[in-house]
Amino acid sequence: MPKHPVIAIDGPAGSGKSTAARLLARKLGYTHVDTGALYRTVTWLAIERGVDLADEQALAAVVPAIQVRFEPSADGQRVFSGSRDVSREIRTPELTRQVRFAAASPLVRKALVPVQRDFAERGPCVMEGRDIGTVIFPDAQVKFYLDAPLRVRAERRWKELTAAGKTVTLEEVEREEAARDESDLRRSTAPLRRADDAIVVDTGRFDVDGMVEHLAGLAAGRLGGGRR
């Protein structure tokens, strides 16, 4: 049982989870824990150390060293590994392709369980990922499963990428998103799956402010009516 309230947000890549989690956390004064950043930091540090990503034992051995900390910032949030700001390094397209080794590894996933649970020992959090409501906090007070049609998700990602100066077509982004969905849904270890008691929200139906209001209202209903 988490010591502090946990709002679990799961869903596929590009479902709007990160934006929703960040703004909801800010509105409620909770910590935003982006668990994808943990898998990304494991991958980044392994590459830094010359670890073969396909060597599962060696990859999992990196986990205790990641020491991830999140700091809110004007443009989202910054991710630190120890004292090093890795926010940019962990989001390159190349690293995004390589993160599947960590995500598909049972050893890495197991080693990251206590790391994720620890965040809720320190204070209330909005934790986003793929298995938060199912594996990490099956008894979270509030669980959301965010989703949107593939085309909507691809368009969002495409806008982010082009705004960041990348030259890429919408079709390319859509293909990459579909491939990531496929590997997240089909992998044998902790495939993306909705918790039975999660509230499903189609984020394609809302603008950002509307979505945060909607989630905050639903969360207040659950948190208010139950244990805190």
Q: Which one, of 99, 74, 66, lies nearest residue 22 by Cα? A: 74
In the bound complex, what is the minimum distance in angstroms from residue 92's beta carbon to ligand DC? 12
Distance, C-alpha 67 to centroid of its chain: 17
Write the binding mask 178 to 197 for ligand DC: x where contact by CB under 6 A, - elsewhere: ------x-------------
Name the burial class of residue 121, with classes exposed (0-12), middle (13-18) and buried (19+) by CB atoms within 10 angstroms of its CB: exposed
In the bound complex, what is the minimum distance in angstroms from residue 27's beta carbon to ligand DC? 21
Q: How far is residue 153's CA from residue 147's CA, in Å, rounded to a whole number? A: 9
Q: Is 176 in the site for ligand DC (CB under 6 A)?
A: no
Identity of the residue, 130 or 156, whose beta carbon is nearer to ligand DC in the bound complex? 130
Identity of the residue, 163 or 224, whose beta carbon is nearer to ligand DC in the bound complex? 163
Q: Which of residues 83-142 bind ligand DC (CB under 6 A)?
A: 99-100, 103, 129-131
Q: Which residues face 125 on adjacent strands? A: 6, 31
CA distance readout (Å), 224 to 9, 12, 32, 89, 165: 18, 28, 20, 39, 44
Q: Is 174 in the site for ligand DC (CB under 6 A)?
A: no
Binding site for ligand DC (CB under 6 A): 13, 35-36, 39-40, 99-100, 103, 129-131, 184
